[in-house]
């Protein structure tokens, strides 16, 4: 988006909604409707199997197909996704991370089909492939850090030479905030990631030193904006100041335009509440102000969540409401007519300087530990985030931090927005997965499988060298390789990875009185049973949002439980096996992706088959009331949703469940 001079009216930012579900055809229809409503960019949400490199028929994909995004298995799906949408005129953001190279190759292939190589020069948009933040917060990584960074480097090098308007990476601090990052940590860890990426590109030999300024100029960021909007506004100004400093001093970029901090934003989705969800409307608007009021650090692309995302998948009308919020601000107010209204503000300048100073110090601490990748592998950054989120939760539980409708002002009238019950959210037909699996089989039968094998063999061989992998990936896309096959070939060469959870090193705690009471109940139950209470915290399926599970694990540990937590992406069979082997007294499952009706009953049934059906199973996540009843009917002991924010109360309830299961008085 062009930047005007100080005497021109600022241009509106790119307006997006994060969207995609069910199938490429259904998502294409949604995109066309949104563009017709005045949306000026697309933000593609891919489903979890696609984001983690699995086809729809893989066992880990069960229950996840089409739930939180669109399934894209091959170039045919990508054609359907953008059917009738000229990519030369589009501005597309794609949240893909580990398989970013693969999805971008599919996108480039479809663009070439629409207009030949000439169209590549005009492709505009962003690939979100900041793999460091995946290890820290979101969990859709596949490979170890080193080969993952290589894939990112190869994408950037190829794009700089072939896609001059494309942002080949989106350094993403968004999920760091949701994982507990303070403004200082969010700025510091995102910039440490940017340093790691730029150093890797520079040292790869794929880009001439004279072209490094071009690389810097194509780096974009994707940030989060929370409700403390003065602090958030100052955070963005601090981001811009530090980025200008780093790119000038570390990489020698002399052109101030190429040093400009370019970012898009989505405001805090996990900060939205299930209780009194109508309050989320004003939360979203206030959070949007943090990244629009300051012209000197204004976002150039914004996507807003819908008011009901804490309840489930938003409907098209809900997304339209979120789009209209942006349009009213951009076109009905006078915001874009003025220069930066905070220039010379003593309050803002003082806060910006504070964040800059603290972030510099934290950047230095990470660099002393070997940089962002080493700080991921050691667990340093992850444990810092888990501790920060624990501090935040303690403030909410104590009432020090007020959340309207949750821990204060809880009395409410019935919401007419929820009068339709389950119809107040979008639901994905259970037949979507079966259709996707059948379509995948048809694709495999119709393609030239010999060409597929040749392309995959070439990819594997190239992966064993230091060659750029984008061209072999493009050949795979043209040959009809599937997402799972592409990722599977690289898994054979690179292996897979399980990131540190950060739980063991995190500081915990809670309100001393209440926690002490729960701890005493745990100790008493230990003595009555003659063994220490053990809880298994599990993340079944492909959902990588582990913040809640980690906080439950930390609080359970502090309450006196022995905690078994193995991280994300486990099959029901693995969870059952661990529960039986460890002899746990309760199994706690966390699911935020909508696959709870598929994966949770498999755990319950698996325990019963293993002769451990007496172990209570509890579930937490974004679970509609109707689904909670279905889970109870299938044998789940308790269901917790975002409104259940008091972890000590949850721990107390877990102790009661264990006592009941063993015939002890409550």
The residues annotated as belonging to the active site are 18, 174-175, 539, 543, 545
Distance in angstroms (rounded) separating the CA atoms of residues 325 and 332: 10
Distance in angstroms (rounded) separating the CA atoms of residues 39 and 267: 17
How far CA 118 is from CA of 78, 85, 113, 115, 122, in Å, comes to 19, 17, 11, 7, 8
Helix (H), strand (E) at residue 565: strand 562-565
Phi-psi region of 458 (alpha: psi -120 to 50; beta: other; left: phi over 0): alpha
Tokens at residue 336, please?
């874009």
| CB neighbours of residue 529 within 10 Å | 14
| CB neighbours of residue 609 within 10 Å | 10
With contact defined as beta carbons under 8 Å apart, do 323 and 17 qualify?
A: yes
Distance in angstroms (rounded) separating the CA atoms of residues 432 and 151: 31
How far CA 365 is from CA of 91, 175, 186, 192, 373, in Å, comes to 37, 21, 14, 10, 13
With contact defined as beta carbons under 8 Å apart, do 227 and 286 qualify?
A: yes
Those residues whose C-beta lies under 8 Å from the C-beta of residue 310, and which sit 6 or more positions away, are 272, 273, 274, 277, 280, 622, 642
Q: What angle, 0 to 180 degrees and rounded to 10, lies between the N-to-C axes of helices 470-479 and 449-463? A: 170
Distance in angstroms (rounded) separating the CA atoms of residues 418 and 626: 13
Among 621, 617, 507, 500, residue whose Cα is nearest residue 554: 507
Burial class (CB in 10 A: 0-12, 13-18, 19+), 37: middle
Distance in angstroms (rounded) separating the CA atoms of residues 401 and 414: 25
Give me the count of residues in the chain: 666
With contact defined as beta carbons under 8 Å apart, do 631 and 604 qualify?
A: no
Kindly give the residue spans of alpha helices, DSSP state H, lying in 70-137. Answer: 75-81, 100-115, 131-133
Distance in angstroms (rounded) separating the CA atoms of residues 94 and 534: 41
Distance in angstroms (rounded) separating the CA atoms of residues 56 and 63: 10
With contact defined as beta carbons under 8 Å apart, do 596 and 624 qualify?
A: no
With contact defined as beta carbons under 8 Å apart, do 212 and 251 qualify?
A: yes
With contact defined as beta carbons under 8 Å apart, do 302 and 236 qualify?
A: no
Distance in angstroms (rounded) separating the CA atoms of residues 392 and 402: 11
Distance in angstroms (rounded) separating the CA atoms of residues 369 and 357: 19
Distance in angstroms (rounded) separating the CA atoms of residues 17 and 225: 16
Measured in whole angstroms, the distance separating CA 439 from the mean position of its chain's CA atoms is 28
């Amino acid at each position: 988006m062009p930047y005007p001079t100080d005497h021109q009216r600022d241009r509106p930012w790119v307006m997006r909604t994060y969207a995609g579900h069910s199938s490429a055809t259904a998502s294409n229809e949604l995109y066309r409707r949104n563009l017709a409503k005045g949306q000026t960019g697309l933000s593609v949400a891919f489903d979890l199997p696609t984001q983690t490199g699995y086809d729809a028929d893989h066992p880990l994909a069960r229950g996840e197909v089409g739930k939180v995004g669109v399934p894209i298995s091959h170039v045919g799906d990508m054609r359907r996704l953008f059917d009738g949408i000229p990519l030369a005129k589009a501005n597309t953001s794609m949240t893909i991370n580990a398989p970013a190279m693969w999805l971008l190759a599919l996108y480039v292939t479809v663009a070439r089909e629409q207009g030949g190589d000439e169209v590549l020069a005009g492709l505009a948009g962003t690939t979100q492939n900041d793999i460091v933040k995946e290890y820290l917060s979101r969990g859709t990584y596949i490979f170890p850090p080193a080969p993952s960074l290589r894939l990112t480097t190869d994408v950037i090098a190829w794009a700089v030479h072939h896609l001059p308007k494309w942002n080949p990476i989106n350094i993403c601090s968004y999920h760091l905030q949701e994982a507990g990052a303070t403004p200082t940590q969010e700025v510091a860890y995102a910039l440490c990631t940017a340093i790691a990426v730029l150093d890797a590109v520079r040292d790869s030999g794929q880009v001439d030193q004279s072209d490094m300024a071009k690389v810097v100029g194509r780096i974009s960021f994707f940030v989060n904006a929370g409700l403390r909007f003065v602090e958030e506004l100052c955070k963005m100004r601090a981001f811009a100041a530090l980025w200008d400093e780093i790119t000038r001093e570390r990489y020698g970029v002399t052109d101030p335009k190429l040093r400009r901090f370019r970012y898009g934003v989505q405001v805090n989705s996990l900060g939205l509440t299930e209780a009194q969800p109508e309050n989320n409307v004003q939360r979203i608007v206030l959070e949007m102000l943090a990244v629009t009021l300051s012209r000197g650090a204004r976002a150039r692309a914004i996507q807003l969540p819908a008011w009901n995302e804490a309840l489930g998948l938003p409907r098209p009308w809900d997304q339209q409401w979120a789009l209209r919020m942006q349009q009213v601000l951009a076109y009905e107010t006078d915001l874009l007519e003025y220069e930066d209204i905070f220039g010379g503000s003593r309050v803002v300048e003082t806060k910006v300087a504070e964040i800059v100073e603290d972030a510099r110090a934290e950047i230095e601490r990470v660099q002393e530990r070997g940089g962002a990748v080493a700080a991921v592998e050691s667990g340093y950054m992850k444990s810092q985030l888990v501790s920060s989120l624990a501090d935040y939760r303690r403030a909410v539980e104590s009432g020090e931090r007020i959340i309207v409708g949750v821990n204060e002002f809880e009395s409410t009238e019935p919401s007419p927005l929820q009068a339709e019950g389950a119809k107040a959210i979008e639901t994905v037909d259970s037949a979507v997965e079966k259709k996707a699996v059948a379509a995948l089989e048809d694709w495999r039968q119709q393609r030239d499988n010999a060409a597929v094998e040749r392309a995959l063999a070439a990819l594997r061989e190239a992966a064993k060298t230091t060659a750029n992998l984008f061209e072999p990936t493009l050949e795979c896309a043209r040959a009809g390789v599937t997402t799972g096959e592409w990722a599977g070939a690289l898994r054979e060469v690179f292996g897979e990875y399980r990131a540190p959870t950060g739980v063991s090193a995190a500081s915990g705690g809670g309100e001393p009185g209440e926690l002490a009471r729960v701890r005493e109940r745990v100790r008493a139950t230990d003595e009555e049973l003659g063994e220490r209470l053990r809880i298994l915290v599990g993340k079944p399926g492909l959902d990588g949002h582990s913040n809640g599970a980690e906080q439950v694990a930390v609080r359970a540990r502090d309450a006196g439980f022995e905690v078994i937590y193995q991280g994300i992406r486990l099959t029901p069979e693995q969870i059952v096996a661990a529960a039986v082997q460890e002899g746990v007294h309760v199994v706690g499952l966390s699911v935020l992706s909508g696959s709870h009706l598929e994966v949770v009953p498999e755990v319950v049934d698996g325990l019963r088959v293993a002769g451990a059906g007496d172990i209570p199973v509890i579930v937490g996540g974004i679970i509609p009331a109707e689904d909670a009843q279905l889970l109870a009917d299938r044998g789940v002991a308790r269901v917790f949703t975002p409104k259940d924010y008091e972890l000590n109360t949850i721990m107390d309830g877990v102790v009661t469940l264990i006592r009941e299961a063993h015939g002890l008085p409550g």
